[in-house]
Amino acid sequence: MILDSLAAAGEYEALGTGIALGLAYLRGFDPDTPDGRYELDGDDLFALVQTYDTAPATEKRFEAHRRYLDIQHVSAGTERILHAPQQDLEVDTPYNEADDIVFFQEPGVSSSFLLRAGDFAIFHPGDAHKPGCMAGGKTQVKKVVVKVRL
């Protein structure tokens, strides 16, 4: 997992073409972009723009992916994301190939961080994460998740 400010995104472009293109998209992202899916390179690279209210962590689930890595960027608001190594978790809902997602039971121990406007996080397969959690109180978040096919 990587957590940094979008201002420092250039430091991560060497991680691969898909990551570099995804970060470039986020640097030029217009916060007035409507929610929806935006293809950057077909199914190999696309962005999901979402607006939602954060919720208590007890209402969210740990998830992970196999075919795509996530670059998650908050353009407005703040959310708390919990994370844990996938190998430490018990599967709750088996892997769904069509949606590229597996859900996990709540672990005994996890870490968390705040994703604030202007920040991004990169989650590789193996990085289980629980996004959309409240950071002190319910708030609206505008978020872009760039999916990069591995």
Tell me the CATH number of domain 2-149, given options 3.90.550.10, 3.40.50.970, 2.60.120.370, 2.40.30.10: 2.60.120.370
- DSSP-assigned letters across all residues of 82-131: EEEEGGGS-EEEEEETTTTEEEEPPPS--EEEEEETTEEEEE-TTEEEEE
- With bands split at pLDDT 50, 70 and 90, how would you rate the model's confidence at 126? confident
Q: Which two tokens stand for residue 62?
A: 């740990």
Look at residue 16 in the predicted model and tell me its pLDDT.
97
Look at residue 142 in the predicted model and tell me its pLDDT.
98
Domain definitions of the chain by residue range: 2-149
**What pTM was estimated for this model as a whole?**
0.95
Cα gap 49→51, rounded to integer Å: 7
pLDDT digits (tens, 9 = 90+) for 45-73: 999 999 999 999 999 999 999 999 999 99
pLDDT digits (tens, 9 = 90+) for 64-111: 999 999 999 999 999 999 999 998 899 999 999 999 999 999 999 999
Look at residue 22 in the predicted model and tell me its pLDDT.
98
Cα gap 44→143, rounded to integer Å: 20
